[in-house]
Each structure stands twice: as structure tokens, then as C-alpha cells.
Structure 1
Amino acid sequence: MICVAPFNQKIKKGVEGRRESFTILEKHISEKDKTLWFHCASLGEYEQGLPAFKVLRKHFKNHKIVLTFFSPSGYEIRKNSPIADVVVYLPLDAKQNAKRFINLVHPELTVFVKYDIWPNHLNELKRKQLRVILISAAFRPNQSYFKFYGKHLRQALFAFEHIFTQNEASKELLKSINYNNVTVSGDTRFDRVSSQLEMDNTLDFVEDFKQGKLCVVAGSTWPEGEALLINYINNHASKDVKFIIAPHNIKSNQIHNIQDKLKVESVLFSEKEQHDLKTAKVFIVNTIGILTKIYSYADIAYVGGALGNTGLHNTLEPAVFGVPIIIGNIYDKFPEAQALIDNKGMFSISSQDEFNDILTELIKEDAKRKLAGNNNATYIKNHKGAVDKIIKYLGF
């Protein structure tokens, strides 16, 4: 990994960050401190676990919380998270690292989110008889835990005193390997996105841009989805519809590539003060951290990632606002996508023609658009409550 690091900035950040983890922990955690440990693979798992983290933070007011990440995409964005007292990269999963890390942190309770299993760290927690749970877990039959060659990873699962799964299928898979301390709690992301409804989502510049017109918000887009959007905007969009595009990649060359291909007036977030937003057809968001609020202004949403191999991005964020959603056709690892499709609030496409047809239909048919959006909002509302089940199990 160290040899590859100079050629990959993301890997390099992770390598350098892990070198500092023990030093940071030794500086901020003492033997006398009471601690909790929360671990997330990346930013998505952090957002997923956050509703539970917040409740635990309130309950354990006198504990120091250590938050660890595997990926730089999580660490770099949330290294100053108010939920934690110390944020570090989790040292690589070697036995020596695990023993040193657990000795330094000595957590009273550890919470892992979804799927990032570190066998040596987990086995060390079990050896020391320290509590550890896994929340929002989602398992699939093709994973190593359920194969003849997966003994090492399978044993690591038994370090968890309890696993909270997103669905019944995951519980059944765990039972197939004789792990029975399972509760089907659902996905904590439903609690997370539902809390957004209680926040102030006002963005004055979006209101200035939208001007009360129907607005299509395309979030976390990749080039393959952007090509569909650009084609539609250039050739099919009526003058009464506005578009907001929030690319996943906000590097200037990618942003300008989108802008150059558009044949209509567009404006960048970074240049919004110098332009008349009212006259622009397309608003391009070349910043991070505001997409969730922007979804509250959407009449229709497109969520990127499912037309390529990057993985579908968060569809629950627009769904909670009662917005119909369009995605690509590669979503088999995202059970919530299939559920929303079955619930007739989300629509999957695989070609330009399919994209054009469904988007035009949702724009023109008010009743279908509103019904689909209501279906999504109802689905989110009906699937809240995972955090309550986790906290009840923990006894407070």
C-alpha cells in the first residue's frame, strides 16, 4: 500500500493518517477515561450511524467518544465531528495494532456500522470481554461469511454480542451460520433522513433560481448520468422547467465540461453572486454539504451512481421530502431502491429514451408525480424506528 500511495492521493492520505492514529490517541485518551468507540468505513456509514451516535452521546455524557474511519472520504469530511472527542483512522488490522488500539481506547461500548468487519480488532474486544454491537447490518448470500472459505471472517462476527440487521433476509443468513443474537431493527438511515424534516432547509439562492417553477434536482451525478441530463435539457426540456445538477466530482474540469456541453444558460454555485439566477436554466452545484437541503426544493429527483460501477448514491434523502426519483438500472446491492421501485415512488432507467420518457411523464402528469412522491414519503415514515430498538436493547 505504501508503494502505491504516491500515485493515489486518497491512498496516500489514508497511509499518512494511520501513522498518526496512535500518537493522537495517546495524547487525548488516558487510562482513567471512560470511553465509547464508534467505527465507520466511510462517510456514508457515518451518516447512517449518526442517529444512534447522537443518542449515545447524550446518554454517556461523561465518556470520551473515539470515532474511527477506514476511508479518507469519511475522515477528511468528519474529522471535526462534534459527536466525537477524538477522530482517527483505524490502524490496519494486524494483531499487534489491534491490541495496542484496544488497550489505548478501552471502550465500554463499541458500535460498528453496517459491514466493515475488522477481525483482529473484534477478536481483541471479545478476548477482553468488551461490549460490541453491529448496527444497520446488511448481508448477502455471496459474502465470504457464508462460504466454506470464510471461517476467519465468520468467527469475527461472533465477537458481536448483538447484531441489528436491516432486514429479515440478513437475519436468516446469520442463523445459517448459527449466529442467533439478532434483531431486525431496520436501517438507521431512515431515522437520519427523517430528522432532516425538522431542520431549516431554506436556501435563498435556490428560491431565487427556482422562481416557483418545476425543478428537477440531479444529485451525486457521474458522467454517464450527466450525459442523459445534458441531452434532455438541450433537446427536450420545456422553458418552464429548471434543473439543478450536483455532481459527485466537483473538480473544475468536470464542472466546466458539463457547462460547456449545455446549450442553455447555466450558473455555478461559486459564481452565483455575479449572475442573475432568475434567468438561468441550469444551476450547477460545485460545492459539497448542501445537497440534502437542495432536495427539499425538488419536484423530481435523479440520483446518480446506478448507471455505472460507482454504486447508487443516497436515494432516501430526496425520498423523505416526498419527491419521485429516477435512478439507473444497477442497484442490486441497494434493497431500499428495490423497495421504493416496488412502492411506485422510484423509476429505473437504462437508456436515453427511457430517461426521456419517464422524466417527461413526471413533468407533465401532476397526479402521477405527486402520487409517486407521496409513496416515497410514506415509505420513509413507515420505516423509522431502528434507533429506538437499538437503544432499548442497550437498556436505556
Structure 2
Amino acid sequence: MLLYNIGLRFYYIIIYIASFFNQKASLWITGRNNQTVACLNNSIWFHFASLGEFEQGRPILEAMRALHPGKKIVITFFSPSGYEIRKNTPLADAVYYLPLDTAKNAHKFIEAIQPQMAIFTKYEYWYHYFTEAHKRQIPLYIISGVFRPKQVFFKWYGCLNRKILSFVTHFFLQDEQSKQLLQNIGITNATVSGDTRFDRVWANAQQPKEIPGIAAFKNGQKLFIAGSTWPQDETLLTTLPALYPDWKFIFAPHEIGEEKINNLLNLLPKDSTLRYSELIQNSKFKIQNGDLRPHTSELRTLIIDNIGMLSSLYAYGDIAYIGGGFGVGIHNTLEAAAFGLPVIFGPNYQKFNEARELISIKAGFSITNEAQLKGIVDILVTDEAFYNITSKKVREYVEENIGATEIIMRMLR
């Protein structure tokens, strides 16, 4: 316990120092320091680490809102990337940064919002918050939970972490392996319900949002979408437009700071590349009667310089590359898969069940270098039969895995 508390203080100090030169760290600090938590009664509390977990837990959030229209819903985020984008969501009555996990903060926060139940998505196990909820007999649920053998919970030195798990009322898990791992340490209050992300992306694919200018940019040609990319991904991907002149390309980088966008622009042909913001504002490409002027035929590459479009953008695509695989791990492959797009990603995908399963059915492809990237893209581009089979497989995979929301809500009712 002492080491846990000391570790949290050190973490705060590191973030505080970083806040002087890093915008995300600055938002993490100032957002918590400047917020005032309103007093509520019998609320329903959802916690998400970041934006990805929000989208993952959104089907349960929407279902709870519909089931309990009179209840106040409180959402907390750990990361600014979730809070800043969803702080005004109509799905909640209050949205906050989760205060640092100290005993004092946990008592003060839970005392204020008075939750009737707490729902955490996928992970985020905070000792003091879980302890406070346990003391107050507040039901605490984990949805779309997933565990791996190498996690600290299953190590000889993970006593405190196992204690945190003991405060959870029920685990709704993605797979049987996670259930077995919990059973090995004596935790049996778990149900394999699946991953709610399948429900979310499937619903999104049934009613995709129209994005101004994208259909005209595509102009009836094939479209390659590179989503949530990082510089290591972009170094490989920016070689593709020259190889496939009949295709259009969209890059949606994970970080959209000016420096990041300019670095990406420098890797692409300047005479045929444009930012999305310029596309819809520039008079040369101005939207007229719901469409764009013919000058869009000159464009071959578009850079998305805003946040929030990607999940709908895949509706226009034919092949998707999902970034992050040359870093800590890939981003959301299911958003593209739900539209039937074959998905390509880097080598660090092992933590994600869906990526492993897509590879096993030959509907997803992992690459480690430029030659492998070109190899798989070439097959998908030139072999129509292979492309059609792959597209069918990937869409069916998503459809076959929907239903987690129904299982979870049946028990929560």
C-alpha cells in the first residue's frame, strides 16, 4: 500500500513537470485542478480511461440511459483525449476528470456523486476508488474486461492488485482465457459476455454519418484509409500513393498537432495532397449543391486534421491500415472491419483478441516492414477474388460477435 501511494505521487510529479512543455500533460493537470464536482444522489457512474474505452462502453451507457431516464449519469475520464472530446456528450449529466487515486480524493468524489452503481470499461483498477465503493456497498462492474497471464494480478508480488479485483461485484469478460485466469486466483464472479465494441461498430456501420466532401474526393475511385497513424506507420504508408496511381489515399493521424501534420505533409506529393480543413474551406474546392467542384480530381491524398471522423470515414474506404502497431499497440481495427474493409497493421497486436482472430481467418494482416506492406496491398489491389473473399470474411466476423450488450444488460437489470 505504501509503495502504491508513493508511486502515485511520483506519477503526479512526472505529469506536473511534463505539463510545462506538453499540452496533453497540461490538460491532465489543469483539468483536474479547475473542476468542481457537483453533488448528486443515486447517480450511475461510468469510468473510461480514454476515448477508445468510451466508444467501447457506449452501448452500455446508451442502454442504461434508456433504462433509467430519470437517473443522473456521471462519466469520468483518466485521459484528456477522452475528456476533451466527450466533455459535452448528451449521454451524461456530468463529465469529469477522475481525480488522482488517493484515499481522500476517492472519499470526496464518491461522497459527492453518490453512485448507485459504478461501471468501468475494460481496465483501470484504482485501489482507493474500489475500496471506497466496497465500503459503501456500491455495486462495481467491469465490462469488456480482458486479462493476460503476464499482468501483475497473476504474479507472486501482485497481492495488492488481486485485492483490488476482489472489490469488483461482477466481471463481464471478452474471452474464456480471462475467465480462467481469474478462476486460477479464486475469482469466480465472472461471465464471458464478449466485447461491446462489436455492438458499437456494427451499429455505426448500419447508419454511417455522411462526411462532407469525402465522396467527391473519392470520385468513384478506390480508397485506402490509414487510420490512427503514428510517424513510424507513415514512413511506410507514404510510399504507397506513387505505387497505386489509380487509388485515392486518406491519412487520419492519431495526433493532429501542427508539427505532426506538417511532418506528414512533407512525406507526400505537395501538388496532390490537401488537408481536410482546406478541402472544405478553400474556394477552389468549395462545396456546391452538396458536392465539390471538379478540381477534386486533382487530389490524390487527403490528410484529416480533426478528431472524431474516423469511425464514419471507413464507410468510404476499400482497404484500411490501422496505426499504432509499431508502438505500444494497434488502435481500433473493428471500426474498419465492420464496413468490410480488409485491415493491415503493424507487429504489436498480441494484446488484442480481435487482431489475432482476424489474422487467424485471413481477414487481417500484420506487417513489419515496407516490403511486407507492399506485398499484401498488391494482392488486395490486383486480386479481385481474394479481396472480395477477405472483405466478406471481415464483415461476417464482426456480425458473428455482436451481442455483448444484451448479455450484460440482462444481468444488470
TM-score interval (norm. to shorter): over 0.9
Q: TM-score, normalised by structure 2?
A: 0.90
Q: Which residue of 2 aligns with 1:137?
A: 145
**Aligned equivalents of 1:200 and 1:113: distance in 2?**
24
SS in 2 for 1:362: helix
Q: TM-score, normalised by structure 1?
A: 0.94
Query: Does the 8 Å CA contact 2:241/2:248 hold for their aligned counterparts?
Result: no
Map 1:136-285 → 2, pairs under 5 A: 136-234=144-242, 236-237=243-244, 239-263=245-269, 265-272=272-279, 273=282, 274-275=284-285, 276-285=295-304
**CA deviation profile, 1:76-117 (whole Å, cap 9, x unmatched):** 111111111111111111111111112111111110111100
- The change in CA–CA distance for 1:8 and 1:255 in structure 2 (over 3 A counts) is closer
Q: CA RMSD in A?
A: 1.4
Q: Which amino acid aligns with 1:115?
A: Y
Query: Does the 8 Å CA contact 1:93/1:118 hold for their aligned counterparts?
Result: yes
Query: Does the 8 Å CA contact 1:34/1:62 hold for their aligned counterparts?
Result: no
Which 5+ residue runs of structure 1 have no aligned equivalent?
none
* Correspondence for 2:32 among 18, 27, 47: 18
Q: Which residue of 1 aligns with 2:23?
A: 9
Q: Which amino acid aligns with 2:257?
A: K
Q: Which residue of 2 aligns with 1:392?
A: 410
Q: Which amino acid aligns with 2:274?
A: V
Deviation at 1:181, TM superposition (A): 0.5
Q: Which amino acid aligns with 2:363?
A: G
Q: Which amino acid aligns with 2:252?
A: A
Aligned residue-pair number: 386
Deviation at 1:246, TM superposition (A): 1.1
**Aligned equivalents of 1:178 and 1:168: distance in 2?**
15
* Correspondence for 1:29 among 25, 28, 39: 39
Map 1:49-198 → 2, pairs under 5 A: 49-198=57-206
Deviation at 1:256, TM superposition (A): 2.6
Q: Which amino acid aligns with 1:80?
A: N
SS in 1 for 2:308: coil
Q: Which amino acid aligns with 2:108?
A: R
Q: Which amino acid aligns with 2:412?
A: L
SS in 2 for 1:337: helix
**Aligned equivalents of 1:200 and 1:139: distance in 2?**
32
Q: Which amino acid aligns with 2:313?
A: I
- The change in CA–CA distance for 1:253 and 1:94 in structure 2 (over 3 A counts) is closer
- The change in CA–CA distance for 1:334 and 1:200 in structure 2 (over 3 A counts) is closer
**CA deviation profile, 1:39-88 (whole Å, cap 9, x unmatched):** 11111111110000000011111111111111111111111111111111
SS in 2 for 1:314: coil
Deviation at 1:204, TM superposition (A): 4.2
**Aligned equivalents of 1:379 and 1:313: distance in 2?**
18
**Aligned equivalents of 2:108 and 2:318: distance in 1?**
52
**CA deviation profile, 1:191-248 (whole Å, cap 9, x unmatched):** 11011123243234111111111111111111111111222223x22x3211111111
**Aligned equivalents of 1:357 and 1:248: distance in 2?**
25
Structure 1 runs (4+) greater than 4 angstroms displaced = none
- The change in CA–CA distance for 1:104 and 1:204 in structure 2 (over 3 A counts) is closer
Q: Which residue of 2 aligns with 1:288?
A: 307
